[in-house]
Structure 1
Amino acid sequence: MARIPYADPSLPEHRDAAEAIRASRKKIGHLHRMLLHAPPIAAGWITMFDAIRWNSTLSGKLREMVICRIAAINGASYEWAAHAPIALAEGMTQAQLDALPAWEGSALFDATDRAVLAYCDAMTRLVHVPDDVAAAVREIFPPRQLVELTATIAGYNCVSRVLEALHINGADPLPEA
């Protein structure tokens, strides 16, 4: 169970943020129900993650690969469960998903994937990215996509940390709204 109760989207102070979430996501899931306790954060969250997910020029496959890698590193099962099906729809194979927790020893990832995963690992585990790892992705991506990749990795590390700190679980019952 979550560490605090999920917010009620029908409360007057939550309505505007709840409508922003519904407009983007069609439903208000566990994470967003929790974020509604802080309506400005919930609304800003949707704006930021809509930009990362829908307005980026980064390929969907790479985006979802790093999201799943972050989930694997951080032990964020909710994040993994939400994004593994999207990763498959965006072009990752089931074998790649299965190998993602130990990608370094797998031959299933090409040179671009490996550079991106090394960058993701460094940002997630070390924060300070080594120069050689940064240089590898800088050689592959133009500045816009490098910023998009970096923001995606940073953003989804934030997601996993919120999920895990508050014990948000997709199996938790949500009260009627």
Structure 2
Amino acid sequence: MSQADISDNTASSPEATIDDVLGAMACPIATRVPLIEPGTETPEVAGIYDQCRDLYGMVPKFIQLLAHAPGTAKSFLKFDEEIKVAALRAGERERSRMQVLAILKPSLDNSCHNCSHHNVNLARGLGYSDAQLAAIAAGTWRENDDFSEQEKVVLDWSDAVTHMSAARDQAAFDAMGEHFSHEEIVELTYTTALWNCTNRLAEALHLTAEPPGKGIDWGTD
């Protein structure tokens, strides 16, 4: 049984906690491409790492991996700088709460330890309970009354985008239109699409996130 199969089985178990799900995702082997650790980087990458310290309070392993191709790291950081971290720093709490749902749905479905780990921590800081996060992983968010209708709509849409059924799912799109502006629909759709990309990159190159207590400081505490 593959690591992905183990993760899928754990996530679908109704008894599994979100920490159980994250534990099952952790890749037991080294990254296929070595990380460029802080202190060993080129001057170009040093500027990228300084930007990370400003955004996150540290240099995530994901960026240490992307640093082999600096343009990829810069493009990813641009999103966080102008959208994700920008919303957090502006105190746009509801926008951030919708964003993290659009990130976690693909990340949990795709069994991406790196993306799930960092964004579970963000979701907790934004007020989501462990029971809600476990419901996203198990696919039972529709039955969880702790989610608002708006939150369920985002999860439904993110699910459709992740599983390539959004083009045919007019009901899910219409529901988004009832709750969000065109700008918000594009932002949330792009967010889910982008994290599907990062999930696949991290999975392909065997990237596991930092250990507990050593992750990103989102400034939500």
TM bucket normalised to smaller:
0.7 to 0.9
2:155: which partner in 1? 117
Map 1:1-177 onto structure 2 (within 5 A).
Answer: 1-9=30-38, 10-56=41-87, 59-101=95-137, 102=139, 103-126=141-164, 128-129=166-167, 130-171=169-210
TM-score by length of 2: 0.70
Residues 46-99 of structure 1 show CA distances to partners (whole Å, capped at 9, x for unaligned) of: 112222313356622221122222211101122111111210111212221121
- What is the DSSP-based 3-state SS (H/G/I as helix, E as strand, rest coil) of the residue aligned with 2:58? coil
Q: Equivalent pairs: percent with the same residue? A: 25
Q: Name the amino acid aligned to 2:31.
A: A
CA distance in 2, matches of 1:13, 1:59: 33
CA distance in 2, matches of 1:171, 1:141: 34
- Gaps (5+ residues) in structure 2? 1-29, 212-221
Query: Per-residue deviation at 1:109?
Result: 2.3
Q: Name the amino acid aligned to 1:108.
A: D
The answer (yes or no) to whether the contact 2:102–2:192 under 8 Å persists in 1 is: yes
Measured at CA, do residues 12 and 55 of structure 1 come closer, stay the same or move farther in structure 2, by a change above 3 Å? closer
Task: Give the total of aligned pairs.
Answer: 172
Query: Per-residue deviation at 1:141?
Result: 0.5
- What is the DSSP-based 3-state SS (H/G/I as helix, E as strand, rest coil) of the residue aligned with 1:59? helix
Q: Name the amino acid aligned to 2:112.
A: A
Residues 121-146 of structure 1 show CA distances to partners (whole Å, capped at 9, x for unaligned) of: 00001154311111110111012211
1:175: which partner in 2? none
CA distance in 1, matches of 2:166, 2:155: 15
Query: Per-residue deviation at 1:25?
Result: 2.3
The answer (yes or no) to whether the contact 1:52–1:151 under 8 Å persists in 2 is: no
Aligned residues: CA RMSD: 2.0
- Gaps (5+ residues) in structure 1? 173-177
TM-score by length of 1: 0.86
